[in-house]
Copies of this chain bind each other. A is one copy, B any other.
Amino acid sequence: MKKIVSPAEGISHRNSFHEHLLATARPIWGAILSHPFLASTADGTISEDVFKTWMVQDYLFVREEIPFLGVLISKAPPHLRPPLADAVVTLNRELELFREQANAAGISFDGISMSPTCHAYIQFLMATAYGRSFEQGFTLLYGVEKAYLDSWVRVKSRQRSRSPWQAFIDNWTSDAFQDYVAWLAETLDALATGKSEADRANMEELFLLAARYEYLFWEMAARGKTWPV
């Protein structure tokens, strides 16, 4: 089994673009990884309501991440289209996981709708994919997935007993998911090579925004934030 790399190790030397991004985002990343949602999932004290709120909202997020990948495919150079198409297949399988787990937990996905944070995050993905260059959209994809890998690795590393939500924890700490995120990092580094300073600054800005939205997503789940009107 693959050694679980601590997120902190990954940003110690700064000679690649993805490492630079992680170093720049370190304070936000720290806030994400120390969020009570993750700690309470790890130690089993999380309330069922809070976890179910997350399940509903993350199901909607994953479902609407597929259109985001669709636009990325449309702008990708030919050699990156097959792995991105595979990522869509993986997301479709993840939706199955959500449906199974929801079913087992007695949660219905009928008539659910997005919280403001989930809605805003998805709009951000779509607006970026459509309106910006492929490299910029891809940076966002890396941010989204890297934050999930690191968040769930953090949960797993702090677990002392099996969780009722183990299937989710295992999903985003699996070898397959780690390989995927490693591929995203490598590919991002290749895409950033030779890009102008202005282009890299735009990519960095988008990465930091993705990190901020990740933090807000845990906040939304933990506090059950909905539309005030």
Contact = CB atoms under 8 A, between A and B. Distances in A.
Interface of A: 27-28, 31-32, 63, 66-76, 78, 81-82, 85, 88-89, 92, 116, 119-120, 122-124, 126-133, 194-199, 209, 211-212, 215-216, 219, 227-229
A75 B75 CA distance: 15
22 contacts: A28-B229, A32-B229, A66-B73, A67-B75, A68-B74, A69-B70, A70-B81, A73-B73, A74-B131, A75-B132, A85-B85, A119-B120, A119-B124, A120-B124, A122-B127, A123-B123, A123-B127, A126-B127, A127-B127, A130-B130, A133-B133, A215-B229
B78 A119 contact: no
A73 B67 contact: yes
Contact of A196 (B67, B132, B194, B227): B194
A212 B120 CA distance: 12
Q: How many copies does the complex hold?
A: 4
Contacts of A28: 229
- Main secondary structure on chain A at its contact with chain B? helix
A150 B113 CA distance: 28
A42 to B, nearest CB: 20
Nearest to A63: B78
Contacts of A129: 74
Could you say which of A74, A78, A116, A194 has the most chain B C-beta atoms within 10 Å of its C-beta? A74
Contacts of A85: 66, 85, 88-89, 92
A132 B137 CA distance: 12
B198 A227 contact: no
A123 to B, nearest CB: 4
Contact of A219 (B130, B132, B228): B228
A187 to B, nearest CB: 15
